[in-house]
Amino acid sequence: MSNAPTSNSNAASAEAARRRTFAVIAHPDAGKSTLTEALALHAHMISEAGAVHGKAGRKSTVSDWMEMEKDRGISIASSALQFEYAPAGYEGEPYMINLVDTPGHADFSEDTYRVLTAVDAAVMLIDAAKGLEPQTLKLFRVCKARGLPIITVINKWDRVGREPLELVDEIVSEIGLQPTPLFWPVGEAGDFRGLARINTDGEAEEYIHFIRTAGGTTIAPEEIYAPEDAAEKEGEAWETAAEEAELLAADGAVHDQESFLHCETSPLIFASAMLNFGVHQILDTLCALAPSPGERLSDEHAVDESTTAMDSFRGVGDEFSGVVFKVQAGMDKNHRDSLAFMRVVSGEFDRGMQVTHAQSGRSFSTKYALTVFGRTRSTVDTAFPGDIVGLVNAGSLAPGDTIYAGRKVQYPPMPQFAPEHFRTLRAKSLGKYKQFRKALEQLESEGVVQILRNDLRGDAAPVMAAVGPMQFEVMQARMLNEYNVETVTEPIPYSVARKTDADSAEDLGRQRGVEIFNRTDGELIALFGDKWRLQFIQKEHPEFTLEPMVADD
């Protein structure tokens, strides 16, 4: 059998080369959804950006679709947006941008982690006044572990904030990532006049002056000045920017592509997503520097006697394969369906093609395939590596699952975060039990929470396990809005979870302050009152199997 590339593989490789798939990560309220809309505005996907969400009389951003998101002004669910973009003066075929907006609240870290398995780079958004915050640090570590290159954006430079050199020092000292300025601010925080474009020698070679628009709802016009003209126009503000850039360059903070791809350095841009200042510079940088989709290793643990011929990896030009990173229902009240969000890993996806579910071996048709942003849906006929596709009513798919055509491939499973909060859940009315069970099954399959059961508590009052308590609110809100089931939750006296096995479970369950549960995937889960109780039992009974809930990355 010939291994020569086919026209389809050539097409897939060419399409992959022009794709940039990235996520926006940050601490809550750093401006992720606002930036998402600003990027869409600069790509001419929308004509006017939504204002800050969560304020009376103002529009919510188009990427936020849950009522809770609109009411609270935070992003709870991830959403994906695809658009073409060509930097000014670029003469080739436009880049295809796949932008994934992630949940903003720390309680939804697990959903953000799933998104990070589906992208090739990340934009780390930092509030100019607050600097690095706990959620940013946590997500950076996930990116580092996954080898995702990071572009750093200091946002909200139009507001009073910290000194730019101080923010750079904090990034270096806190996370060991060296920012390399590409666009340095002219004017201190709160007096954002424009950006100095920094060349590879650390010199300010051009001044980009921004002109404000009403409310920042349209693209901000730019005026370009040579350095000598910038010095005359802005005086000390320009001289300060040029000197600071030179100071960083002297300290080695200049862009090197290999260091960037190895997560050692991070191109740095200052911006105001609200005013649309510095936004297209972010897009230009992604197009020029972010990696295109590449090969992905298969799961060595999935190889058995029936799959010994499974490839060790799939290149972008190989036969079609994809990974499901999220399952979501209730996005549109007019469509009582569920969507499995899939990242195309290799080959060409054609709507209606017959694919195989690696985990079950079952075949199914992809007749209904969509691109989705918020509640906006459009049919997708063809997709290539790096693209995000929503498969409708693919009920057998779960986050981490692989689908493929041709030779079998199965990618590594998706680790789950260790839950730290636990509550029982039951229907307020016994007459709603049937709907309660249906809703529970659907929302659990999406990964909204983990569901734990045992004989003592029964099926009517299972235990929800979550990373953060707001997941419980989402669970109850969606049960009510999508299934018309009003629910009641009650706390239980546990705060630590560990995986155990059948040999340990019986004796472990007799210990004071311990309860054993079954998770839907078959795992046995032991809950402990607190970490001190866990440590005591581990010391007294070293024979018990007690493993952390998070799988190795």
Q: Which residues does the annotation place in the binding site for GTP?
A: 101-105
Short-list 203, 166, 161, CA closest to 181? 203
**Which residues fall within 8 angstroms of residue 71, CB to CB, at 6 or more apart?**
54
What is the token pair recorded at 28? Answer: 């809550």
DSSP track, 378-421: EE-SEE-TT-EEEEET-TT--TT-EEESSS---PPPPPPPPP-E
DSSP state of 220: P
Residue 121 CA to residue 21 CA, distance in Å, equals 7
Binding residue positions: 101-105
Residue 67 CA to residue 365 CA, distance in Å, equals 33
Task: Please count the residues of the chain.
Answer: 553
What is the token pair recorded at 124? Answer: 């780390």
Short-list 123, 140, 148, CA closest to 39? 123
**Which residues fall within 8 angstroms of residue 454, CB to CB, at 6 or more apart?**
515, 516, 517, 518
Determine the 3-state secondary structure of 369 from DSSP: strand
CB atoms within 10 A of CB 489: 17
Q: Are 119 and 100 in contact (CB under 8 A)?
A: yes
Q: Which amino acid is at 277?
A: F
Determine the 3-state secondary structure of 159 from DSSP: coil
Short-list 454, 462, 504, CA closest to 479? 462
Q: Are 191 and 241 in contact (CB under 8 A)?
A: no
Q: Are 494 and 514 in contact (CB under 8 A)?
A: no
Chain centroid to CA 512: 40
Q: Are 151 and 286 in contact (CB under 8 A)?
A: yes
- Determine which helix (DSSP H) or strand (DSSP E) holds 181, and give its type and residue range: strand 178-186
Distances (CA, A) of 278 to 45, 130, 196, 286: 18, 19, 11, 13
Positive or negative, the CA dihedral 344, 346, 351, 352 is negative
**Which residues fall within 8 angstroms of residue 289, CB to CB, at 6 or more apart?**
149, 151, 255, 257, 260, 267
- Determine which helix (DSSP H) or strand (DSSP E) holds 478, and give its type and residue range: helix 470-483
For every residue of 236-294, which 3-state class applies, written as one string? HHHHHHHHHHHHHHHCCCCCCHHHHHCCCEEEEEECECCCCECHHHHHHHHHHHCCCCC
Pairing mode, strands 338-346 and 382-383? unpaired
Determine the 3-state secondary structure of 531 from DSSP: helix
